[in-house]
Structure 1
Amino acid sequence: MYHFFRTQKIIWMPQELDAFQPYPVEIMPGRIFLGNLSQACNRKMHKDLKIKAHVNISMETTPYFKGNEDKLLHIKIEDSLHASLLPFFRHICHFMELHLQLSSVILVFSTQGISRSSAAVMAFLMHHNGETLKRSWAHVKKCKNNMHPNRGLVSQLLEWEKIIHGDYITDIMDPVY
């Protein structure tokens, strides 16, 4: 599926390895990717992955889809414990579902791709698949090992779980969260 990753090369020079840019991680095969700001600004990655929509959960902007509200959902929130993403979860989910129906490839990103964007992806998985926070967390963790929403976002994801399932199911006091 990703022919551009193929290479005949077996030995890499140190400067080549330093120049290597990791691609966003795949959350839903060929449909949803989770990444960071530098990946969101990389023209080659956009072309290779055929990205057609952005969910930007950061204060920064990118050169892509600027002024095109149909392809860009930009939620400007700071990376802090007090940032409130819960009011935007429903909008994020509807935006992503619409683009999945249109067969668009979506990149969800934040500045570092660790906290805010991971929370947005988990909220979508909980909504789209009817999953618990625990299952969504496990799925995203399997795809992106260094993801870790801050405690404020974890609490908001638990509230989102209650909205979706009618009750709290996941115990966020578990050290995993």
Structure 2
Amino acid sequence: MMETVERFDQTEGYGHSLRNKYQVFEKLRATYGGDYARGQQKYSSGQHRIRFQLEPIGGDKEANIILVGVISANVTATDQYFNKTPSTYAWETSSHDWEDKTTIVENGQHKKVPKDKWAGAETGDILELIIDCDQQLIRIKNETRKTGDTMKVDLNNCPLPWKFIVIFSMYPDRAGSRLKLRPTVTRVTNSLGQTHHESKSDQGTFETRGRSSDSNGAFMVIDNSPDEELHHVIDGVYIGSQDAASNLPGLNECKITHILNVATGIENVFPDRYNYLNIELLDVPETNISKVFAQTNQFIEQALADNGCVLVHCNAGVSRSSSIVLAYLIGTRRMSYDDAYQLVKRARPNIRPNDGFVRQLKEYAAEK
């Protein structure tokens, strides 16, 4: 799961500004209505965690309305009523003299919910939003109040990619208030298992520490060229990227009959031509990849027993697919981790299982 530091590309509402398109909102005058900010990041696959705190600056103590959720990146809110805009999925807390309620928002439709389901949020609470594109849901956790909730997102109403949204409202008795997302240092794990830390400085600048030179701002491998080659590991077993899985001439040349897809968000290109096994795995050290070794080993072994050939692929062909092939060599061919790694490395030089996968593979080898 990726931990994300958000910045904002759109703000709407009455009388506020967003400093440097980052984490501070300012009420410039007393008005009646909501204020809104939408994140810059687009979420189309995988799981992402955004942790933040709504913190008052100055004399005001709380917001009247706090809403947190997602909206389709294809939708633009243009006024204070954005929280009623179709494609909005969120949780809203309202605290007024005349009402005190918690609400879920599904496709812009509000539904009051009991506080034993979602206790809501107040200024000062630390919140965590999980955006799970693969499962088509969002989760919210209030760390301060020890409550949380899960909401399913209908892709027909809120198509991917999604964006993070925050709304808050200060009413006239709170004129001149400010509210900000309190910056926290977050650890980001990229698709190669590398980690770095992101934060906002006291001066309001965006800082990154410990990022490897071979990754870019989107936390992906810097290589835009097609990677269509199928790399031969042993008789009948090939490894590659998602591009290789769509390379029909290459699949035919290698006589592929089975495809093992452990990518995230990649559909099978030729479902009528090949036997597929799909297991979506996140390429982060925390993923328990060892739990699928028995299933993937059996799939590869059965393909070979049927005189077939199997391609194992993930997104980049670097970490997940190589780990699955290594597990097969260790579990079925009784190779040591080092021997198996050298064999796969010779077949595809750019393999690099993340640190968590390496640890699990070595533990797996020790059990054999």
Equivalent residue pairs, number: 144
Residue matched to 2:231: 25
TM-score, normalising length from structure 1? 0.75
Hey, what's the Cα distance between the residues in 1 that align with 2:309 and 2:261?
A: 14
Hey, what's the Cα distance between the residues in 2 that align with 1:91 and 1:146?
A: 25
Name stretches of at least 5 consecutive residues in structure 2 with no aligned partner.
1-224
In our comparison, the structure showing a higher alpha carbon Rg is 2
Hey, what's the Cα distance between the residues in 2 that align with 1:116 and 1:162?
A: 20
**Aligned counterpart in structure 2 of residue 86 of structure 1, from 290, 313, 316:** 290
Decide whether aligned partners of structure 1 residues 151 and 20 sit closer, same or farther in structure 2, where only a CA change above 3 A counts. closer
| Match status 1:65 vs 2:295 | no
Is 2:226–2:243's contact at 8 Å kept on the other side of the alignment?
A: no
More strand by share: 2
Residue matched to 2:260: 55
Residue matched to 1:35: 240
Residue matched to 2:308: 104
* C-alpha distance after superposition, 1:117-142 (max 9, x if no partner): 00000000111211111110111111
Please report how far the alpha carbon of residue 163 of structure 1 lies from its aligned counterpart in structure 2 after TM superposition: 2.4
Name stretches of at least 5 consecutive residues in structure 1 with no aligned partner.
1-18, 165-177
Please report how far the alpha carbon of residue 153 of structure 1 lies from its aligned counterpart in structure 2 after TM superposition: 0.5
Amino acid at match of 1:118: S
Amino acid at match of 2:263: S
SS of the residue aligned with 1:37? coil
Query: Looking at both structures, which has the greater relative contact order when contacts are Cα pairs under 8 Å and sequence separation is at least 6?
Result: 1
Please report how far the alpha carbon of residue 62 of structure 1 lies from its aligned counterpart in structure 2 after TM superposition: 2.0
Is 2:239–2:322's contact at 8 Å kept on the other side of the alignment?
A: yes
Amino acid at match of 2:237: I
**Aligned counterpart in structure 2 of residue 124 of structure 1, from 313, 328, 332:** 328
* C-alpha distance after superposition, 1:25-61 (max 9, x if no partner): 10013x1110000110122112221110011111122
Cα RMSD (Å)? 2.1
Structural mapping, 1:160-171, within 5 Å: 160-164=364-368
Residue matched to 1:46: 251
Q: Percent identity at matched positions?
A: 23
More helix by share: 1
Amino acid at match of 2:271: F
Hey, what's the Cα distance between the residues in 2 that align with 1:33 and 1:55?
A: 10
Amino acid at match of 1:56: N
| Match status 1:156 vs 2:360 | yes
Hey, what's the Cα distance between the residues in 1 that align with 2:317 and 2:280?
A: 14
Is 2:228–2:240's contact at 8 Å kept on the other side of the alignment?
A: no
TM-score, normalising length from structure 2? 0.37
SS of the residue aligned with 1:72? strand
Hey, what's the Cα distance between the residues in 2 that align with 1:46 and 1:132?
A: 29
SS of the residue aligned with 1:161? helix
